[in-house]
Amino acid sequence: MKILVTGATGKLGFKIVEVLLNKVPADQLAVSVRDPEKAEGLRTRGVEVRQGNFDDPKSLDDAFAGVDRLLIISTDGENGVRVKQHTNAVEAAERAGVKFLAYTSIANAKESENFLAPPHQAAEAAILKTGIPYSFLRNNWYLENEIPSIQGVLAGAPWVTSAGNGKVGWALQQDYAEAAATVLAEDGHENTVYELSGKPLSQDEFVAVLGKVIRKEIPVQHVDDDTYARVMKDAGLPESIVPFVVQVQKGIREGTLDIESQDFEKILGRPATLVSEAIQQVLPENSQTN
């Protein structure tokens, strides 16, 4: 059996490979990356490193050759580009005769109106069209995405949000990685859809947990989108990124990440790491929490 993970030099992909190395022999594992030199550390551990570029279908034909079980990790970037990239990867998987295809999607992908949903909707539809047994790993939101805001709070800033009462099912990348690796390494996950979500919390609820962890009263400022954009720009966020984070807040406010699910338990036999414990894991080492 040959398992292949795309995007294995990314943060999530690397974590998935690390978990897989504890589940299967290294010679059963391959990775597809744009720049093989960045995966040299995996090669030295016995993982087969292949060059694959989602913008180059021919490279994907070579990368996916002989693969039995494939994980396509969704790409970053502009939605139209991502739709094409994901479609290229799925079509290459079909040409390669892949027997099982897992894909990292977004919460409630099929019905979602989140601005990030279209590339995932396109990918899921393309996978269904192939007839390949699949698993859609609908990841909610990485708790690591909040690290800049947590660092700001530690430096004395308030928690600023335009997400209103919208809730998020935060979980650690490690939780998502363990779920993906388990689905890849074990049988019984054919034609499944997993909503991978931690306990949904509002911004106020999240900040209350954060405050207890760092033993600090944290003011929460609820603002409109324009004010949020201005605050983010004043905080030093690159102007090109500001519209993105505003849209993230809008999606949360509209409930697109408010998913109650026990699917982590279905896969891992445990729920996602408690938010309080997860926050402890992402805090800077020199932060004072006790």
Where exactly are the structural domains of the chain? 3-139, 141-170+197-258+273-290
Span 241-257, average pLDDT: 97
Span 39-52, average pLDDT: 97
Q: How high is the pLDDT of residue 284?
A: 79
Let me know: does 194 contact 137? Beta carbons within 8 Å.
yes
- d(CA 17, CA 180) in angstroms, rounded, equals 10
Residue 290 banded pLDDT, cuts 50, 70, 90: very low
Q: How high is the pLDDT of residue 286?
A: 54
What are the distances in angstroms from CA 110 to CA 87, 100, 121, 138, 271?
Answer: 16, 20, 6, 10, 24
Strands (E), the chain: 3-6, 29-33, 48-51, 69-72, 100-106, 134-139, 141-142, 159-161, 167-168, 170-171, 192-196, 201-202, 220-222
Q: Per-residue pLDDT tens for 137-185? A: 999 999 999 999 999 999 999 999 999 999 999 999 999 999 999 999 9
Q: Per-residue pLDDT tens for 67-113? A: 999 999 999 999 999 999 999 999 999 999 999 999 999 999 999 99
Q: Position of tokens 């030199």? A: 37
CATH architecture for residues 141-170+197-258+273-290: Alpha-Beta Complex (3.90)
Q: How high is the pLDDT of residue 84?
A: 97
Span 127-131, average pLDDT: 98
CATH architecture for residues 3-139: 3-Layer(aba) Sandwich (3.40)
Q: How high is the pLDDT of residue 285?
A: 72
Rounded to a whole number of angstroms, the CA Rg of the chain reads: 19
Q: How high is the pLDDT of residue 156?
A: 94
Q: What is the pTM of this model?
A: 0.96
Which residues does residue 138 pair with via DSSP β-bridges, in sequence order?
105, 195
Q: Per-residue pLDDT tens for 188-227? A: 999 999 999 999 999 999 999 999 999 999 999 999 999 9
